[in-house]
């Protein structure tokens, strides 16, 4: 009979496209990229997009906690009471609902509280009094006792097999005691929020209820994580890497068992060492794989591993139990023989058989030890090779990331240099434009001043010509006076003299106005030069201004000497 049962549970989430289709015991996974005609990713173009698998049990989005428990875990209670080991573990990506399936909530109890409640309802008082409980977690490949807080280690025992050293076994004669211990252990479990799950468990937990002849094991695995989805940094990223590493080893073990390989890397992590008996068929095992329809990649990987687990061909190895049973039988036979106080031929034969059996056991132990040593050597070599390959991949990824960062920095430096060069060119162009504008304004001002002065010179020349005309008229009048009556000439001469005086007064006033206007133009010109100097504009030096002023004064003096002013 197959000792491993694989169940699939689909998390109820809202989705625009139905990626998971459940039809009885068959699960079909559809790739949303093909449905929405998204551009094909080069890295994924050769990957199988759609997949369909068949499992022992499938729970769709409408299945509640009670249905999941009654169909998956409840049938194992009879096997447990009859003396067979039972293991139940949940597998899936982060946020897919593993802890909800195993523990549940106050209103919707999960598999663990329901199974323990039903189990203690079937056990007798004597069986319940012998029950004990252990609760541990594997955090970053370190085992910690959740009941005491101590750090523990794994060791191989010749008689008991794999043992967690110094693990605290709490006596739990009642269901209330178990509930209290579980609540206390869960409160100490490593939990932190991530981008994919607000209440993400950061460790694997193993809860074991030990009865007289068997063990009931519950395993709640931490979910696999993608750094692009969780946006983890620092310690959260280290935790995610250790979780993915242990789950990768678990996946490799499932793959090796599925492919019937001679070597299975159980020693690759502490999680797989603890799950070795459950995967090899030495106990009744139920694997509940949780998938979320809104994440295609994680759902694909989870269904693939679940499919491989279902098709594992278990080869139970009960040599240890057989040896223990034989020893118990031999002890019973010895006690019976001692009570009879007789040494019959039957006793001698039994003793001989017992000695031969002991010799055979020793031979088998020696052979097993030799095989274990060989397997350990092979495992150590493989672990070293895997570690070396993993370190090389990490170094390559770090070098590629640094090269990408350096390339990005160089691009940014080139962009900054281009921006600085463009800014410099803009400043030079702006200065050229301002210089040209200033020169044009200066030339316009000089032209206006020159025109004003020329206009003034023309007016002065016209006054001089009028004065000359008056002198000629005076000469004519004088000549007439010599010929005409003296008195009339004298009166006329007086009038002409008064006109001349008036003309001289006008000429002096006009000259003062011209000089005043020239000074105002000069002051206005100097102010404009000063304003342009404060605004960091190109300016005319003082020597040039002095030279212009000197030339203007010389021109005015010359005109005055020539009689034009």
CB 190 within 8 A of CB 202: yes
Beta bridge partners of 208: 134, 217
Closest to 140 (Cα-Cα) out of 124, 151, 128, 129: 151
**Which residue has tokens 């709490």?**
170
The beta-carbon contacts of 23-26 under 8 Å, at least 24 apart in sequence, are 24/58, 25/54, 25/55, 25/56, 25/57, 25/58, 26/52, 26/53, 26/54, 26/55, 26/58
Dihedral over Cα of 173, 179, 185, 188: its sign: negative
Between the CA of residue 327 and those of 24, 82, 345, 351, 354, what are the distances in Å? 48, 21, 21, 13, 10
Residue 139 host element (H or E): strand 132-139
What residues form the annotated binding site for ATP?
92-99
> Residue 105: phi, psi to the nearest 5?
-130, -175
**Conformation bin of residue 482: beta by default, left when phi > 0, alpha when psi is -120 to 50:** alpha
What residues form the annotated binding site?
92-99
CB 290 within 8 A of CB 90: yes
Beta-strand relationship, 4-10 and 57-59:
parallel
**Conformation bin of residue 166: beta by default, left when phi > 0, alpha when psi is -120 to 50:** left
**Which residue has tokens 């690759």?**
268
Radius of gyration, CA atoms only, the chain:
54
Closest to 229 (Cα-Cα) out of 297, 289, 301: 297
Hey, what are 142's tokens?
């370190």
Hey, what are 248's tokens?
């990768």
């Amino acid at each position: 009979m197959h000792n491993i049962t694989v169940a699939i549970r689909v998390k109820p989430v809202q989705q625009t496209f139905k990626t998971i289709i459940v039809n009885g015991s068959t699960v079909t996974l559809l790739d949303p990229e093909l449905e929405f005609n998204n551009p094909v990713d080069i890295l994924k173009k050769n990957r199988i997009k759609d997949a369909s698998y068949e499992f022992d049990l499938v729970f769709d989005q409408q299945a509640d906690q009670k249905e999941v428990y009654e169909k998956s875990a409840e049938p194992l209670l009879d096997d447990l009471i009859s003396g067979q080991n039972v293991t139940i573990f949940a597998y899936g990506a982060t946020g897919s609902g593993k802890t909800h399936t195993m523990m549940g909530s106050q209103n919707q109890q999960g598999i663990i509280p329901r199974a323990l409640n039903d189990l203690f309802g079937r056990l007798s008082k004597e069986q319940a009094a012998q029950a004990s409980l252990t609760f541990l977690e594997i955090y970053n490949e370190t085992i910690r006792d959740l009941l005491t807080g101590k750090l523990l280690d794994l060791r191989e025992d010749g008689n008991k097999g794999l043992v967690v050293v110094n693990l605290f076994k709490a006596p739990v004669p009642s269901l209330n005691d178990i509930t209290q211990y579980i609540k206390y252990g869960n409160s100490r479990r490593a939990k932190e929020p991530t981008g994919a799950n607000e209440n993400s468990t950061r460790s694997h937990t193993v809860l074991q209820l030990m009865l007289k002849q068997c063990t009931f094991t519950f395993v709640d695995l931490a979910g696999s994580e993608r750094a692009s989805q969780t946006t983890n940094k620092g310690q959260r990223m280290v935790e995610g890497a250790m979780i993915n590493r242990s789950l990768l080893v678990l996946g490799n073990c499932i793959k090796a068992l599925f492919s019937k390989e001679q070597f299975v890397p159980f020693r690759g992590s502490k999680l797989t060492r603890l799950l070795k008996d459950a995967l090899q068929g030495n106990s009744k095992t139920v694997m509940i794989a949780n998938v979320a329809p809104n994440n295609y990649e994680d759902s694909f990987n989870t269904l693939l591993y679940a499919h491989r687990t279902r098709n594992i061909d278990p080869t139970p190895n009960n040599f240890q139990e057989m040896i223990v049973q034989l020893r118990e039988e031999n002890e019973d036979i010895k006690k019976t023989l001692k009570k009879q106080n007789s040494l019959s031929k039957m006793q001698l034969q039994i003793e001989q058989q017992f000695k031969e059996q002991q010799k055979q056991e020793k031979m088998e132990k020696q052979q097993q030890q030799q095989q274990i040593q060989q397997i350990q050597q092979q495992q150590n070599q493989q672990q070293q090779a895997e570690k070396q390959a993993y370190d090389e991949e990490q170094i390559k990824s770090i070098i590629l990331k640094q090269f990408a960062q350096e390339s990005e920095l160089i691009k940014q430096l080139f962009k900054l240099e281009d921006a600085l060069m463009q800014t410099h060119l803009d400043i030079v162009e702006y200065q050229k434009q301002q210089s040209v504008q200033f020169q044009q304004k200066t030339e316009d001002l000089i032209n206006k001043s020159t025109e004003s002065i020329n206009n003034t010179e023309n007016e002065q020349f016209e006054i001089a010509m009028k004065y000359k005309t008056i002198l000629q008229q005076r000469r004519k009048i004088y000549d007439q006076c010599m010929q005409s009556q003296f008195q009339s000439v004298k009166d006329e001469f007086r009038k002409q003299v008064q006109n001349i005086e008036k003309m001289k007064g006008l000429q002096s006033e006009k000259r003062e106005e011209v000089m005043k206007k020239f000074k105002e133009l000069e002051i206005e010109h100097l102010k404009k030069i000063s304003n342009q100097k404060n605004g960091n504009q190109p300016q005319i030096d003082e020597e040039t201004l002095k030279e212009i002023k000197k030339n203007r004064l010389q021109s005015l003096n010359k005109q005055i000497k020539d009689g034009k002013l």
